[in-house]
Chains A and B, each alone.
Chain A
């Protein structure tokens, strides 16, 4: 089934940039653009030009900063509060019964840790 697309411009050729750019490259270009803008702005202020415009916010500049609050600790197994840490596996746990479960667990701690974003170093 082919639907005609008369509205398309037959003379249009693809922009070569289109394919090559990946996520990282786009963000790097964005960062570079912002740096150049800030540089010109600084230069203009130094030159004493009146009414210099602020550098507009960019995709990267509005990104949320890392948290400054203390991280809450939750039990890796149950999701309840996790005040304790098992020194052997690094798992946080809620109480004695969960600790017993951790002891009896067959080496799956790294999956629990990676759910929390911790990638343990293999000893």
Chain B
């Protein structure tokens, strides 16, 4: 099994095929979309492949240490930041191919006009645990 992160972007991914902001959809189209997302997660729970799913608020703050005895510096949100994460789903699947298949299904969620959004989702593999019996034993053990 291998864990993958499916990342959805508010901003930073290439434009979707069916790229219409949600507030321009009809209320029924919004309901259909949310239903699809819920059903997708529920189905992965049933197949034993679902790990976690969270959504993020669009606006965040940058923070850094500013030296001993001083409060941290906060700044942003920055208009020029290219990449804004909207949320993620973590899946635990048998293969890279399965992860791609599921990401494709998620990207097919219906949008404006009831047609698939075809949005770009980013698929990122987790670093796995170091295996006890390794194929490259001479290299790492």
Is the pairing of A and B real? Answer: no
* Partner-B contacts on A (CB < 8 A): none
